[in-house]
Amino acid sequence: MTMTEKKHAIKPYPLGAHVEDGAIRFAYASGKKDCGIIIYDRKSGKKTHRVPFRQEERMGNVYCKYLELEPENVGYQFYEGERTVPDLHAQGFLRKPAYGKIRKPADRIAVFPNEDFDWEQDMHPMLPYEDSTCYCLHVRGFTMHASSQVTHRGTFAGVVEKLDYLQEIGVTTVEFQPVYEFDETPEKTVPKTSGELAAVAGEKNGEGKLPGYRVLNYWGYREGFYYAPKAAYAAGEDPAEEFRLMVKEFHKRKMEVILQFYFPRGMDAAEIGNILRFWVLSYHVDGFHLMGEGVPAQMLAGDPALSGTKLWHYSFDTEQLYDPAVKPEYRNLAEYRDDYLYTMRRFLKGDDNMLSGVLYEMRHIPANMGRIHYLSNYYGLTLMDMVSYDHKHNEANGEGNRDGNDYNCSWNCGEEGPSRRKKVQALRKKQLQNACCMLLLTQSTPLIFMGDEFGNSQQGNNNPYCQDNKITWLNWQDREKNAELLNFWKQMIAFRKAHPILHPVEELRILDSLSCGYPDLSYHGQNAWRPQTESYNRHVGIMYCGKYAKTPQGGEDSFLYVAMNMHWEPQKLAFPKLPKGMEWNLVLATEKAEDTLTVQEKEEQSREQTGIIAPRSIAVYEGVVMAASQDKEKKVSARSLKKKTDVAGER
């Protein structure tokens, strides 16, 4: 392999190796004098050159050298003295180690990925938050289980094979747990005497193999090689191309890709900006969930190059970012925090003094931002485990069940863990449907954690950060087992989409700003227009006036009334009167109290415009034209038509 140095002005940034001006520019930050570049033959992996940096190639503590090499034929690393240093800015590596395999120095030989990719003029969907339904997944866990029946299990290609499913249930935006290159190999070893690990983790993949006692960093929330897609998540030998193919398939369906990036404390803020811009330019991703203590969120929110890229974070100060008189052309920022999760979970299980907080969480949309709300996430209990366990069960992690959050706001519905009791099963099913209704009837942007829509369980483990086995692998057999639950989720997502009053652009004001006789949003108790939010109350009626929202066809949306009762006894709620000729029609109920009422009780409710809401249930009503009014309108139309016909005959 021939190599010559090319004289060039020092250009210290960006760091790493880049093809420029017919050569490769190497830029490396080091305070050492004895440092340089190791060149490898890409085909054989053998070392061919050791090229030192010279002091005249140094600017501060950054060295810069240009070497005339063919990028497709070489690999490289840096060195300091006798120590080999992998390039943290590498965009790909020579070898693709098996997932969980201990990395060797040769596994970190950097190479130049093929940039010749046809994007076919794909476009960022740039979906408004009000029209989005989000879904959080782990690439490996999503399809690694044999029940996924995909060809390429646990990979980017495997995700593509499931896009039909995601689109079918109504998902528009997928949030990925870290997909940049990180080392998942063991940070510690659990003693082999830990019977809990073997008993709880059980078989690794249904093939009789125990997971051993290695504790992996399965999630990936650690510093990594931020410029390279994770090779172990690729089915083929080119992770960069496979990731691009996945993004392109998302965009063909007008679906979005959001990536989680974890940055530790002390990381350079400018470097973080470079990383995000790189993934937008090179991989066409649509946004990022910014995580870690080292995130300059406010700075990134003000970056003009990222103004068309979604950014999710705990909080942004939009008053500093935007002129109060001018709204952002595209709302790219979104608040992402746990307040909603804890408030709604506590209400769901029947805690007192929650109602006021629930009403706020269900309507809140920050000014000039979106808000991502969720009832479960990668940390904490899944929704199925939330209704099946009173306590976390993290024994499989090998830490004596001391890890993970003790505050889960869960309730096992009468029995800890899996149950054969029909009464317990029925209550859990109803609670899962209640959770679905709460999530999708809340007015900001809902996020579903993978598998919650068909009752996925992690066996009570609320911190499976180290589990690469059936605990974290989605079991797709639950899709058929809990088909009724999945269909309920599909129907609720479709119902939300069909009613724009349920997903407005801005927070509803609880005011009659149209002077139409109804506020956009109102609350009701045993008497209409009088909500009962005392600490002991767990029931409320919420009315949405469709006059404040336009359907895609340009007409007004419906009147909707959501009746929620998380008390263990039936409760009475009043229904506000609708415009003349309209009545309330039950659309759905997680349990129907009407089935237990006498004819006299039903007539009394009809006169008083009240309804009995079953214990621990949610019911949704829609304002419709009365049947009698419809018949009257038909008769009037018929008489008008006859009169016109007679007049025409006389002429």
* Predicted confidence band of residue 390 (pLDDT cuts 50, 70, 90): very high
Give the pLDDT confidence of 112-161 residue by residue, as tens digits. Answer: 998 899 999 999 999 999 999 999 999 999 999 999 999 999 999 999 99
- Reply yes or no on whether the pLDDT at 81 is more than 70: yes
Q: What is the arithmetic mean of pLDDT over 231-251? A: 97
3-state helix, strand, coil in the chain (%, to 5): 30, 20, 50
Which secondary-structure segment (H or E) carries 428? helix 422-441
Question: How many helices (H) does the chain have, and how many strands (E)?
Answer: 16, 29
Q: How far is CA 564 from CA 281, 332, 334, 508, 535, in A?
A: 46, 32, 27, 19, 15
The pLDDT value given to residue 597: 59
Give the pLDDT confidence of 549-566 residue by residue, as tens digits. Answer: 998 888 999 999 999 999
- Dihedral angle computed from the Cα positions of residues 163, 169, 170 and 176, in that order, rounded to the nearest 10 degrees: -50
Question: Which amino acid is it at 546?
Answer: G
Pairwise CA distance, residues 469 & 182, whole Å: 19
The pLDDT value given to residue 201: 43
The pLDDT value given to residue 348: 98
The pLDDT value given to residue 205: 39
The pLDDT value given to residue 236: 95
> Which string of DSSP letters, residue by residue, matches 328-392?
-SS--EEEE-SHHHHHHHHHHTT-SS-HHHHHHHHH---TTSEEEEES--SSS--HHHHTT-SS-
Give the pLDDT confidence of 148-204 residue by residue, as tens digits. Answer: 999 999 999 999 999 999 999 999 999 999 999 999 987 555 555 444 444 444 444
The pLDDT value given to residue 189: 59
- Rg over alpha carbons for the chain, rounded to the nearest Å, is 29
- Reply yes or no on whether the pLDDT at 24 is more than 90: yes
Domains and CATH numbers, the chain: 4-111 (2.60.40.10), 129-182+198-204+215-501 (3.20.20.80), 509-631 (2.60.40.1180)
> Which string of DSSP letters, residue by residue, matches 302-315?
T-GGGTTSEEEES-
Percent of the chain with pLDDT over 70: 90
**Within its chain, how far is the Cα of 572 from the centroid?**
36
Residue found under tokens 């003790």:
406
Q: What is the arithmetic mean of pLDDT over 489-510? A: 97
Pairwise CA distance, residues 569 & 517, whole Å: 33
Pairwise CA distance, residues 557 & 553, whole Å: 10
Residue found under tokens 């009147």:
559
Higher pLDDT, 101 or 615: 615
Asked if residue 14 has a cis previous peptide bond (ω within 30° of 0), the answer is yes
Mean pLDDT (the chain) is 91
The pLDDT value given to residue 272: 97
Higher pLDDT, 106 or 346: 346
Those residues with Cβ within 8 angstroms of residue 442's Cβ, 6 or more apart along the chain or in another chain: 340, 344, 361, 362, 373
The pLDDT value given to residue 250: 98
Give the pLDDT confidence of 340-360 residue by residue, as tens digits. Answer: 999 999 999 999 999 999 999
The pLDDT value given to residue 651: 37
Task: Tally the C-alpha atoms within 13 A of residue 50's C-alpha that lie toward its C-beta.
Answer: 10
Lowest average pLDDT, out of 81-95, 179-193, 422-436, goes to: 179-193
The pLDDT value given to residue 313: 98
**Whose CA is closest to 313, among 293, 342, 341, 330?**
293
Please give the structure tokens belonging to residue 277.
């811009």
**Whose CA is closest to 512, among 522, 503, 499, 502?**
522
- Reply yes or no on whether the pLDDT at 326 is more than 50: yes
